[in-house]
Amino acid sequence: MRYQSVPMGTHATHIGLPELLRQWRDRRRVSQLELALSAGTTQRYVSFIERGRSLPGRGMIVRLAEALEIPLRERNEMLLAAGYAPAYPDTELDDPGLDPVRGALERILDGHLPYPAVLTDRSADLVSANDAFMTLVGQVPRPLHEPRINLGRILLHPEGLGPRIINMEEWGRHVIDGLRRKSLRNPDASLERLIDELERYVPARSRETSPLHLGFAVPLRLRSDDGELKLLTTLTHFATTIDVAISELSLEAFLPADTATAEHFHAHRT
């Protein structure tokens, strides 16, 4: 499976810069003074911006956004709210100009073989995946393709990998908790809808479940024809990019947690 085009245009905003800045500062739990020090300005000036008494320049908005670690898409929204043009390009992933980037990412995916690896966007929708991941999930039912294949959905849905997951409570809660943390840090309506959906597939958290029962990491334990498979995951973000689409990508790589799992993937390498 290779790149799917993702609609990426900047979201229209009807909120003014003062309110946006206050919202992000509250979300990051940063005081006006802390923000001012990080952005190289004064608390008084930050206060003036938040009260609508001063309109900062384009460069100052970018500095404030960087200090608050605001995602690039939302930085563009702040600039638009202040009447400035967006500072960060928002390129479609299938644009020819991104050929070198796509090539590099595909080499990373293929280099992880024989183990599964995927690229997802900000909504956890699948952008690309290597052959091992598509072999792992098997034939994806048509309803799970619409509107696009979502990683959380394909992992937990009863028509996806759900019935093969031995530790559905622990793994499902791990997936949902990760999405919830992501949504709390960078609110996204599509993520909230996804979380609500996934909650229906996962058992309620039991009182007995605690980090002490899970070891140093939560494994994905799967039934297979070769017996139980145990996989751990790593997550990589592309934080240094200045393109909105690339900045929203995450690379999730699955790693064998024991020798038997490693041997299974080597034996089934396509």
Categorize the per-residue pLDDT at 18 as very low, low, confident or very high, splitting at 50, 70 and 90: very high
Q: Mind listing the pLDDT tens digit for each residue in 125-158? A: 999 999 999 999 988 888 888 778 999 999 999 9
Buried b / exposed e across 214-226, counting CB within 10 Å, b at 16+? eeeebbbbbeeee
> Is pLDDT above 80 for 6?
no
> Is pLDDT above 60 for 232?
yes
Which residue segments constitute the domains of the chain, with CATH numbers given?
17-81 (1.10.260.40), 96-167+211-267 (3.30.450.180)
Q: Mind listing the pLDDT tens digit for each residue in 82-123? A: 999 999 999 998 899 889 999 999 999 999 999 999 999 999
- Residue 163, classified by CB atoms within 10 Å of its CB into exposed (0-12), middle (13-18) or buried (19+), is exposed
Pick 140 or 267 by higher pLDDT. Answer: 267
Going from the C-alpha of 124 to that of each of 16, 142, 151, 195, 216, the distances in angstroms are: 29, 18, 6, 11, 24
pTM value is 0.83
